Amino acid sequence: MIILGELLLTQPVFVFAVLIAIIFLSPFIFRIFKIPDVAAFIISGIIIGPYGLDILSRDASIELLGTIGLLYLMFVAGLELEPEKLKVSRQSSIIFGIFTFIFPFSLGLVVCTYLLHLNYEASILVSIMFSTHTLVAYPIARKLGVSKDISVLTAIGGTIITDTLVLIILSIITQSFNSESALYQIIQLISFFGLYLFVIFYSFPRIAKWFFRNIKRDRPVHFLFILFMVSISSVLAKLVDVEPIIGAFVAGLALNKSIPKNSLLMHHIDFVGNILFIPVFLIGIGMIINTKILFSGAYLWYVSVILIISALAGKWIAAFMTQKILHFSTIQRNLLFGLTSSHAAATIAVILIGYERKMIDETIFNATMLIILVSSLIASFTTEKYGKKLVVVGLALREQKRNQRILVPISNPATMSDLVALANSFQSGSSTEPIYLLNIVNDDFLAKDNLKNIREILEANVAEFNNLNENIKVITRLDLNVSSGIIRAAKEYMASTIVFGWGGKSTASQKIFGGIFDHLFYSNHTLFACNFQSKISEIDKVVIFFPENIEHEIAFTSILESIVRIPIKRDANMKFYFHEQSLAKKITYQFQKKNRNKVQMIKYQQAEELSCQYGSNTLNVAFMVRKQSIAFNPLHNGFVRKSIFSHPQGSFIIIVPGFE
């Protein structure tokens, strides 16, 4: 049996099955403990690796996928940076970019030389690792609506500068220079590297533009073309004695403007990277970590604590000095620190190269993995905390208001009239945007016939709503999963709002894996989940619950305007529960414009004071707020789940404010 087990462990199909199982399960498991996915995959690699349960060995196949994952990771890092934002905050980005490189680097040199007594090469390698950072927490800032604040733009621009400097220095210190001709070799390296950059930045955008213009419909070929360009850039980098990861990073920067951020191609790039290449790379990193050394004595913990404190301190000093020179507020300084304190993508790349070239030992390598875990958690917490404060004090530059583009998924054409009427009422009279009516058809052998039949039924049912301006467009889609089909359609048609019917009940499997509402809840769109027990036009009583800080949400203004337009009876009684007096004034002003006089305002302090009202013609409207939103309150979300989810027999609309 032992021999059979050993043979099984070496079989490619077994290795593949184990990797896929880990990629699939580890995010679910570690999110319970609020551990980021990056750290979750590394920990999983430790568990299954030769220093853990020894389920898999780090063989050639894992090393190959890991190498691809590393290149992919650096390519995506370059692709996600936005060089045009460097122009908006050029001065502050340059200042911070220099500071966030110099201060962590200098502190690292002092710590590595005098406290850890590392040699010259190892000290420089660890010090530039201190300088680099990954914008792990940037999605939090974007969702909070502070992405256009000067502190966030400075963080983005500074990232471009410091990561570029780090990768250039990495290329220099990994070379084997002859002492007699070191200066000549450095000049030669810089010259070839400059020529390489010119070729990539000049040719790649032009080649991509020509390719996408002439090859328009073959989407798989688009993705393969991108992989080909990344591999060419990495190979050329290797030919000029530069690390291939720098080639992948440069390819990302060069193709940045050629791939729109909201395009399907970008979605495919994110999907393949996040689903396979990058997780396998991180799992492979975990398999290298020797867990036995964690119990070998206090030295590893001594080194880890020193490196973690130094890495965070260097980034904080850089943010502090930037604040003093550019006159940022304390909140903006802390937000700048939060965004740039996390060490992940480039850090892993730098330290892995040093470890493979024997420039650092196992202790430093393992300590770096702890830095990644701790700094990612601190970055996420700090960015969320001070991003919310920035919104509250009104320093954030908010997104420009634009017309709503509404998507209405329909599962049953016979019961769609209230949803369409609701969505139609949300559109202002000046809006030129259509309402997109979507039906997802299961992709099976009957798909073709079902697709045609459903489309004909939908078009027949929307005839009563379509007036002269033809404001409703019918979309039908083939998909194996309704939730993913809705999200893909929303991205494709750039919908800001999704209005859908939802009964509130969950099956056993949905409680484990999540239903449609749960899946859409983790998107960026504004959601209106509706359940009408009577015709919406017959509703004569409405109760609306506003959570604390809801008025600071990006989408709140358009949501409030939509609530005012809900097509209920004109003389309906309306009761509003509010928390801030400023919100009460906004509500009163909006409803007075609509000549609704039967309005009762009730101020509350705690979510426990709220209570729903049920009746055949009563509508409860409540907010469910995503965790990273400024208005997130677990007690209010709990009230909604307890009072509305558990009483699906009443009419309700659950609103989830969006980030777009």
pLDDT in tens, 24-52: 888 778 777 767 676 778 788 888 888 78
pLDDT category of residue 83 using cuts at 50, 70 and 90: low
Q: How far apart are CA 219 and CA 266, in angstroms?
A: 11
Average pLDDT, integer, range 526-551: 87
This model's pTM is above 0.85: no
The string over 593-613, giving b where at least 16 C-beta atoms fall within 10 Å of a residue's C-beta and e elsewhere, is: eeebeeeebeeeeebeebebe
- pLDDT of 313: 93
CB 67 within 8 A of CB 278: no
pLDDT category of residue 400 using cuts at 50, 70 and 90: very low
Instruction: Output phi, psi for 407, to 5 deg.
Output: -115, 130
- pLDDT of 100: 92
Angle between helices 37-48 and 362-392 (to 10 degrees): 160
Domains and CATH numbers, the chain: 2-392 (1.20.1530.20), 400-531 (3.40.50.620), 533-660 (3.40.50)
| Percent of the chain with pLDDT strictly greater than 90 | 7
List alpha helices for 475-629, DSSP H.
Answer: 482-492, 508-513, 516-521, 556-564, 581-593
* Residue type at position 123: S
CB 436 within 8 A of CB 484: no
Q: How far apart are CA 113 and CA 105, in angstroms?
A: 12
Report DSSP state, residue 391.
H
Three-state DSSP at 652 gives strand
- pLDDT of 506: 56
- pLDDT of 405: 83
pLDDT category of residue 459 using cuts at 50, 70 and 90: low
- pLDDT of 656: 92
Per the DSSP assignment, residues forming a β-bridge with 656 are 527
- pLDDT of 232: 92
Average pLDDT, integer, range 243-255: 82
Q: Which long-range contacts (CB under 8 A, 24 or more apart) does 590-595 make?
A: 590/560, 590/561, 590/564, 591/564, 593/564, 594/564, 594/565, 595/570
Is residue 262 predicted with pLDDT exceeding 80?
Answer: no
Q: How far apart are CA 50 and CA 289, in angstroms?
A: 9
CB 128 within 8 A of CB 367: no
Joined together, the tokens standing for residue 186 give: 């450095």
- pLDDT of 254: 87
**Mean pLDDT rounded to a whole number for the chain:** 78
Is residue 1 predicted with pLDDT exceeding 50?
Answer: no
Q: Largest Cα–Cα distance of the chain, in whole Å?
A: 91
Which residue is it, tokens 């309150």? 633
